[in-house]
Amino acid sequence: MRRDALYFPGLVPTKFSTIETFLRTDDHARRRLAEADEFLGYSLMDAYAEADVYDWEVYESGFMVVTLALADWALENVELNPVLCGGQSFGAIIAAVFSGALSYQDGLALVRNSVLVEVDYFDHQPEPLGCLFFYRMTSQQVDDLVAEFRAAGRDVEVSIYLDDSVHAVSGTLADLELLEARVREAGGFPFYTMNRSEHCPSVRPLRDRLETEVYDRVSWHRPKWPMLSDVSGKLLTDPEEIEQDLLDGWVTPVHWSTVVGGMRDAGTEQVHIIGPRNMFSRITNNALPTEVITPKKVVDRATSPA
């Protein structure tokens, strides 16, 4: 049989209007929503409809609900032979839930309690921190620009090399504002600034707090499928290794080449990108045959003539 990889992208803010029909009509989505509502103590769909992009508990829980429901749908409607399951950044937590390394309730608890620690950590920094996402610059250009800023005493760090076009840099919001202007001058296109830093060594104190205050307080299990690390590219099955790998993602820059290399080493023949947005598809499709599973695809399938 064909060897498939199930892969969950990182959290990209998604408008409620783009997922509303899926949430209201798909049985898998309704079931995942009902369980989330019971755990959270409020209507996640109603909260998502009104949420600001920085309402992290709502956005992360909503992203988890939609993505897991899509994966549930895929197992029933797509011929799959998974040999690994993985995710980039927040997607790795969803992969942990879907693979069984975390229960769904523990996944929701991880989201809620991590947000509390993260907000406390970033609110108490001397200067506001963030992460700037942009594209249309090569990795070499980004490295050169970051080196220039660091030589001038500005503490910025590359957080994400999604491919040789999409990148993210973390630092103070003041430095990122200057960096954004330089990105535009170089022909790059900034599209999102997150109100926290991530995937960089400077947030080591946050990573260590999350370990003791959140991650060590949920139960970790052996996954149904090996989990592909976006830190090392290795396949993980040991529960403790999975926990440590997710934590280390906070302090390790994301290199998409590491993920693709891990998929190839595992003998992957097709990748299934599962999530609300499909921006990852063009990246893996350059290396491996790729299918994208989004809310639009599921809704279109359900409403198309038999």
List, for residues 48-103, the tens digit of each pLDDT value: 999 987 899 999 999 999 999 999 999 999 999 999 999 999 999 999 999 999 99
Question: What is the tens place of the pLDDT at every residue in 189-241?
Answer: 998 899 999 999 999 999 999 999 999 999 999 999 999 999 999 999 999 99
- Write down the pLDDT at residue 89: 92
**How far is Cα 69 from Cα 30, in angstroms, rounded to an integer?**
8
**How far is Cα 269 from Cα 264, in angstroms, rounded to an integer?**
8
| Number of structural domains the chain divides into | 2
Here the CATH number for the domain that contains residue 27 is 3.40.366.10
- Do 8 and 107 lie in a common domain? yes
Q: Supply the range of the domain harboring residue 184.
A: 129-194
Last residue of some domain: 172, 194, 216? 194
CA distances 23 to 48, 71, 143, 238, 254, Å, are 11, 14, 41, 33, 30
Residue 279: pLDDT band (50, 70, 90) is low
Compute CA 171 distance to the chain's CA centroid, rounded to the nearest angstrom. 19
- Do 78 and 170 lie in a common domain? no
Q: What is the mean pLDDT of the chain?
A: 94
Name every residue whose Cβ is closer than 8 Å to that of residue 168 and which is 6 or more positions away in sequence. 131, 132, 133, 134, 158, 159, 160, 162, 199
- Write down the pLDDT at residue 284: 65
Mean pLDDT check: name the lowest of 1-10, 210-219, 232-241, 279-288: 279-288
Last residue of some domain: 139, 171, 194? 194
Last residue of some domain: 168, 194, 220? 194
- Write down the pLDDT at residue 164: 76
Here the CATH number for the domain that contains residue 164 is 3.30.70.250
**How far is Cα 128 from Cα 140, in angstroms, rounded to an integer?**
27
pTM of the model: 0.94
